[in-house]
Amino acid sequence: MSSIVIVDYGLGNMRSVSKAVQKAGAEVLISHDLEEIRSADGIILPGVGAFHEGMTQLADLSQALIESEGHVPILGICLGMQMMMEFSEEHGLHQGLGLIPGIVRRFSDSPGYKFPHMGWNQITIEKQDDPLFEGIPNQSYVYFVHSYWADTPAEYCITSTDYINTFASSIRRGTAIGVQFHPEKSGECGLAILRNFIGMV
């Protein structure tokens, strides 16, 4: 059975992610230990909250994640995905892990749209051959809670979603993968996506 390490850096819904990954069929370890992260078969970086606080809390764990890219699959969820990018404009300009090119931007205020983007929305699969979405129907519904979105070149966009503007709802470069939605809150579709991630390990 594959061993997945969920990175514990003090922000994020580790318990619900852990339960979902276990249900999807993997052994799970929640850890902030550098060596345990470095020796993982796969890594999940969850997160809720502010970008700068997340990067500050990651501290020396950042280097372990950067070193792991290209060797093991890494899945960033929500804030975890945003921290994989180069920069964020949330409360000033802050540097991310730089695993995936692009910048995190705030949704513009727009009449008729609630803020933050919270609830079920559809994903358009842009990269049909990406293994993370194998067997996932196009226009499936997944669960979002976020106020910022990933502005990344099209070549890194796996799925897109429309809310105020069209944004990358999942991204990839090499073994670094991010999803803006919460697979652990997305029912059977989310579990299927987690199973696909486990299958990459």
117 is catalytic: no
Under 8 Å CB-to-CB from 159, ≥6 apart: which residues? 123, 124, 125, 126, 127, 133, 168, 169, 170
Q: Which residue has the tokens 């339960």?
A: 19
C-alpha 184/C-alpha 194 separation (Å) is: 8
**What is the mean pLDDT, run by run of 10 residues, along the chain of 201 residues?**
87 90 94 93 92 91 92 96 96 95 92 88 97 98 94 97 96 97 97 97 90
Number of Cβ within 10 Å of residue 200's Cβ equals 15
Q: 90, 157, 184, 189: which one is catalytic?
A: 184
Number of Cβ within 10 Å of residue 6's Cβ equals 25
Supply the pLDDT for residue 1.
63
Q: 69, 78, 126, 157: which one is catalytic?
A: 78
Supply the pLDDT for residue 94.
95
155 is catalytic: no
Q: Which residue has the tokens 């809670």?
A: 145
Q: How many helices (H) and strands (E) does the chain have?
A: 6, 14
Domains of the chain by residue range: 3-200
Q: 94, 117, 146, 182: which one is catalytic?
A: 182
User: What architecture is the 3-200 domain classified under in CATH?
Assistant: 3-Layer(aba) Sandwich (3.40)
Is the separation of the CB atoms in 28 and 14 below 8 Å? no
Supply the pLDDT for residue 3.
84
91 is catalytic: no
